Structure 1
Amino acid sequence: MIAKHLHLILSAGIVFSVAMVYGFQPTLVFDVTISSIDEANIFKAIMGLYLGFAALWIIGVFKAQFWTIATLSNVVFMLGLAAGRIISILFDGLPSGIFVLGIFGELVLGCFAIYNYRKFNVPN
Structure 2
Amino acid sequence: MKTPQIFLLVAAAGLTPIALSYGFSPSTSLSFLFNIDANPVNVAHIFRAVMGLYLALVLFWIAGAFKEGLQLPALYSLVVFMMGLGLGRLLSIIVDGMPHWLLVVYMLLEAGFAVVGILMIKKSQAELN
TM-score normalised to structure 2 length: 0.88
Match of 2:122 in 1: 118
Runs of 4+ more than 3 Å apart: 121-124
Q: Deviations over 1:23-46 (max 9, x none)?
A: 123223232222333322211111
Q: How many residues are treated as equivalent by the alignment?
A: 124
Counterpart code for 1:86: L
In 2, Cα distance between equivalents of 1:117 and 1:63: 16
User: Counterpart of 2:19?
Assistant: 19
Q: Distance in 2 between matches of 1:26 and 1:69?
A: 32
Equivalent-residue separation in structure 2 for 1:5 and 1:35 (angstroms): 38
Answer yes or no: is 1:88 the counterpart of 2:92. yes
1:105 has 2:126 as partner: no
**Higher RCO, 1 or 2 (CA under 8 Å, sep at least 6)?**
1
In the alignment, which residue of structure 1 is the partner of 2:4? Answer: 4
Instruction: Please tell me whether the aligned partners of residues 68 and 117 of structure 1 are also in contact (alpha carbons under 8 angstroms).
Output: yes
Instruction: Map residues 59-78 of structure 1 onto 2, 5 A cutoff.
Output: 59-78=63-82
Q: Percent identity?
A: 33
Structure 1 unmatched ranges of 5 or more: none
1:68 counterpart SS class: helix
1:38 equivalenced with 2:42 (yes/no): yes
Which amino acid is 2:101 matched to?
Answer: G
Gaps of 5+ in 2: none
Q: Give CA deviations for 1:6-55 in whole Å, capped at 9, x if unaligned.
A: 32112111111101100123223232222333322211111100000000
Are the equivalent residues in 2 in contact too, given 1:26–1:43 (CA < 8 A)? no
Structure-2 separation of matches of 1:68 and 1:94: 35
